Amino acid sequence: MNGAGAGGDGPLVYQRWKGNNVFVLQGRFIFGPDARSLYVTMFLIIAPASIFCLFVAKELMNNFSYGLGLPVMISAVVFTAYDLSLLLLTSGRDPGIIPRNAHPPEPEGLDGNAEVGSNQTPPMRLPRVKDVVVNGITVKTKYCDTCMLYRPPRCSHCSICNNCVERFDHHCPWVGQCIGLRNYRFFYMFVFSTTLLCLYVFGFCWVYIVKIRNSEQITIWKAMAKTPASIALLVYTFIAVWFVGGLSVFHLYLMSTNQTTYENFRYRYDQRANPYNRGVVENIKDIFFSAIPASKNNFRARVPVPQEQGLRPRPTNGFMSPNMGRAVGDIEMGRKPVAWDEPRMAADIGDLGAGLGNLLEDKDGRFRSASPDLSRDALAIGGLDDQGSSVMNPGRTSWGVEAGR
């Protein structure tokens, strides 16, 4: 199964996946690298639900008249199973990963700062950003060096999963997966259903306490003392509902204004126009009543034979990616990049070459014979000419080699 071969004997796509994802059941489920956090999330849901069924709902079955106790138990079990299924749909599916390119896109122009010689190919530099018009508003799309593509609008590269994700919202550690175009709907349904489950348990715990008080004619405090499980659940659900309930309200606001969490924290549409906002009703319909796009990845397909055989990449003719030749900050986190000081770097290289020339030449202008392999021609090839200055070959720079990987 893992060996490369012709026809259908090659490895599957998920077996050669370059991201940090974890695959289960032979590529049928895809999780993030922190998928183990799912065990914690499931425990935080199953444990209180089990305590409620054993110590509260079971007692209510005996105390409720008109047969209302059994539906309380069944509803709790079904609601918990529904909540867990939404968790799996959120964390176990492709969130909208854009497949990587095998090669960078073709450069559209020449780098005007390069000196072109008779036998040299000028380096080409892709623009770092491109402008795309969305609903009459210009939106900048960035180039991703890792995936070697221009990200579509609202796409971002997740540093945890190491993938570009369409309509990237955030990476949720509680579900161990990116939240994007194909699972945002299920993420909100999971958060909202968890909020309702907390309110359900919280409400019926109070119902059970009131039942005890009425049946035994005691104070509410003495009734609470008779059911410590209810007290524990009341405290737990009260704390949890502030977290998941607040998250539900926040994402309801994001959906009504057609924003993502990433956009809300980074771009601040309250200071600029939001090109994606089409009104509350249309925004909500886009999330819940539109068709979910098919995945762009077939994880269980065979890897193409030429790709598996590792054919040599196409020549790039001195191609330079948008970020080659300059120090790049963390674009996703908004850190300011440090500018590349080319004149200063050229001066430093020239000083270094002059120092080497003075060190190696004797009074007659010849090189010393300390190393038999060190000659004037060797230094010229390595980057120093007769005067010890730097000779830069734009068509054969290390940046061009790196970009052509």
Count of C-beta atoms within a 10 Å radius of residue 38: 20
Q: Residue 92, Cβ neighbours under 10 Å: how many?
A: 20
Q: Are 157 and 332 in contact (CB under 8 A)?
A: yes
> Cα separation of 55 and 44, whole Å?
17
- Both tokens assigned to 73: 């138990």
Stated as kind and residue range, the H or E segment containing 143 is strand 137-144
Instruction: Say how far apart CA 123 and CA 341 lie, in whole Å.
Output: 18
**Are 297 and 97 spatial neighbours (Cβ–Cβ below 8 Å)?**
yes
Measured from the Cβ of residue 148, the count of other Cβ atoms closer than 10 Å reads 17
Cβ 319 vs Cβ 148: under 8 Å: no
Contacts of 116 (CB under 8 A, 6+ apart): 122, 394
Q: Is 284 exposed, middle or buried, given 0-12, 13-18 or 19+ CB atoms closer than 10 A? A: middle
Residue at 388: amino acid letter = G
**Are 329 and 159 in contact, with CB atoms under 8 Å apart?**
no
Whole-number Å distance between alpha carbons of 400 and 125: 10
318 contacts 124 by C-beta, under 8 angstroms: yes
- Given the residues 164, 172, 178, 205, the one annotated as active site: 172
> Is 155 in the active site?
no
209 burial via Cβ count (<10 Å: 0-12, 13-18, 19+): buried
Q: Kind and range of the H or E element at 157?
A: strand 156-158
Tell me the C-alpha distance between 153 and 262, whole Å.
Answer: 13
Exposure class string for 350-367: b at 16+ Cβ within 10 A, else e: eeebeeebeebeeeeeeb
The rounded distance, in Å, linking the Cα atoms of 351 and 388 is 8
Distance CA(228)–CA(266), nearest Å, equals: 45
**What positions carry a catalytic annotation?**
172
